A and B are shown apart, each in its own frame.
Chain A
Amino acid sequence: MSNVAGKAYGMNVITPLRWWTAVWQKIAFSVAEHFPVKLKGLITLSLIHYARWTIISRNSFPRLEKSQPKETLNYSYMLFESNFNGSWDQYIDSFSFAIPTGLDFFWAWNIKYPKSIPLHDFYHYIRFNQVECDHYYNAYPLASANDVKSARSLFHNLTQFNAETHDLSDEDFAVAWKKLLVSNQHALGSMGEGPAMSTSRELVLDHRCTNHKISQQRQQQEA
């Protein structure tokens, strides 16, 4: 149980908004989707693998059987989920300082949204509305989003280099090699564990150990 899986942090934030402003919010998202310049700040930050915003209309909580009580809600809700690199504080700081207008654009109609500046109120808002992950999985705990992207370009450049340099003289190969390294230097470097990863793993192991003990005690009591 952890919001951390390797170098990624999994954030879940659920916030209320009035049903009619939910419609405006959806339009705002549609604008952002069709005019990616609105997402330029997110792209520039470069620390997010994947993020999503989902508007849950007050009447659209799944009801699968008549025996399930029907939700009677005053508000619609917005569920925000992100997979990003770094710590919670780094993420909130980066967002607040780098793209304050973008944040305000995405949360504008959410009830009691304090705006992204001043930071203290924004911190409090996110923390209050955050739900912790009970299980969080990351397919590449050792890699950041930038690692995944640079690995892709390096793969293509390396296979291309390999195919194109077979027939070169040693002198020409040496020139091409230096050019390859210079143009791909951003993709070179060992990955390894991030500092948050080790702490997280220790906490997870402690928690799992405690859970097993509780489970064993329950089984003994039931027996």
Chain B
Amino acid sequence: MSNRSGKAYALTTLCPIRNGHEGNMSFDKITRHRIQLLEEDSGSPFARIPNTYFARLFILNDVFFEQGNDVHHDHLKSKYLVFTSNFHGDLKPYLKGMWDNANDTVRSIWEHAVAFDKVRNSDDFIAYIRKCQLTTSLFFNGSTDDELRFQLKSLYIKQAFSEFVLAHQNKSTSELRTAFNEFMQQMQSDNLNDVSWIPGQTRLSHLY
């Protein structure tokens, strides 16, 4: 059992939500409502958290059983905020990055979670999430475990090179060679911070 596959990490957490309500809305509904109002894609708070490949939030209201009286039917006494993430690297720096870069969102989403009122700083947040963490029984990595900046940079170059090849099909070797040298300089393959996709990008910017 492992949360890791190479340098990729699978974080699974169940954070209990306090039973109770504010006005006419229960705390779990308030939490869900806030989650559903989060921006998507590049506007998502997870786009600001370094090295996040994928992340999701949902509320687990109860457990389910298909019809039939041949088994006991369990019911949960608390509702749980389920937060899971796939990211590159170690858990501690990832959670610190989450606290530092999406602080308002974290405070808002977890406001009604049990014991979250004692969380004051990134160390508290890391300790809190660890208490809510479950060990992954089997983690399957069908992708890569590279740093996100590298994944985004290589995707950018893949798209740009595909367009380059298409645009230079009938060029002479010397023209092709000159253009290719310019292309590689333009790509800045050693620079992972620029000339790349941004996290959560949903539109292509065509070079050719």
> What residues of chain A have their CB less than 8 Å away from a CB belonging to chain B?
1-2, 5-6, 8, 10, 12, 14, 16, 25-26, 29-30, 32-33, 39, 42-43, 46-56, 60-65, 67-75, 77-79, 81, 83, 106, 111-112, 125, 128-129, 131-143, 145, 147-152, 154-155, 158-159, 162, 170-171, 173-174, 177, 181, 187-193, 197, 201, 204, 207-208, 211-212, 215, 222
Q: Given the known A-B contacts A62-B15, A68-B78, A79-B12, are A211 and B36 also in contact in the complex, defined by CB atoms under 8 Å?
A: yes
In contact, B201 and A140 (Cβ under 8 angstroms): yes
CB distance from A141 to the nearest CB of B (A): 5
| Complex alpha-carbon distance, A67 and B176, angstroms | 71
In contact, A71 and B202 (Cβ under 8 angstroms): no
B191 within 8 A of A: no
Which residues of A have CB within 8 Å of B180?
162, 177
CB distance from A187 to the nearest CB of B (A): 6
Which residues of A have CB within 8 Å of B32?
134
In contact, B132 and A149 (Cβ under 8 angstroms): no
| Complex alpha-carbon distance, A47 and B143, angstroms | 9
B98 within 8 A of A: no
Q: Given the known A-B contacts A29-B1, A74-B74, A141-B200, are A49 and B161 also in contact in the complex, defined by CB atoms under 8 Å?
A: no
Which residues of A have CB within 8 Å of B68?
112
Which residues of B have CB within 8 Å of A10?
54, 56
Interface size bracket, B side = 35 or more
In contact, B138 and A52 (Cβ under 8 angstroms): yes
| Complex alpha-carbon distance, A60 and B41, angstroms | 33
Among A6, A46, A148, chain B packs the most CB atoms within 10 A around the CB of: A148
Q: Given the known A-B contacts A6-B41, A112-B68, are A50 and B155 also in contact in the complex, defined by CB atoms under 8 Å?
A: no
CB distance from B142 to the nearest CB of A (A): 4
B193 within 8 A of A: no
Which residues of A have CB within 8 Å of B41?
5-6, 137-138, 141
Among A52, A53, A173, chain B packs the most CB atoms within 10 A around the CB of: A52
Which residues of B have CB within 8 Å of A81?
12, 56, 84
Q: Given the known A-B contacts A14-B60, A16-B63, are A155 and B153 also in contact in the complex, defined by CB atoms under 8 Å?
A: yes
**Complex interface bits, B119-149 against A, C-beta within 8 A gives 1, otherwise 0:** 0000000000001101111111111101010
Which residues of B have CB within 8 Å of A207?
36
In contact, A139 and B199 (Cβ under 8 angstroms): yes
| Complex alpha-carbon distance, A19 and B18, angstroms | 27
| Complex alpha-carbon distance, A94 and B72, angstroms | 33
| Complex alpha-carbon distance, A12 and B83, angstroms | 11
CB distance from B185 to the nearest CB of A (A): 10
Residue of A nearest to B86 (CB): A50
**Complex interface bits, B28-62 against A, C-beta within 8 A gives 1, otherwise 0:** 00001101111011001011000011111111100
CB distance from A157 to the nearest CB of B (A): 10
In contact, A73 and B199 (Cβ under 8 angstroms): no
In contact, A50 and B10 (Cβ under 8 angstroms): yes
Residue of B nearest to A166 (CB): B181
Which residues of B have CB within 8 Å of A159?
189
Known A52-B12, A73-B74; 9 more pairs at CB < 8 Å? A46-B142, A52-B84, A62-B15, A135-B58, A152-B154, A159-B189, A173-B173, A208-B36, A211-B37
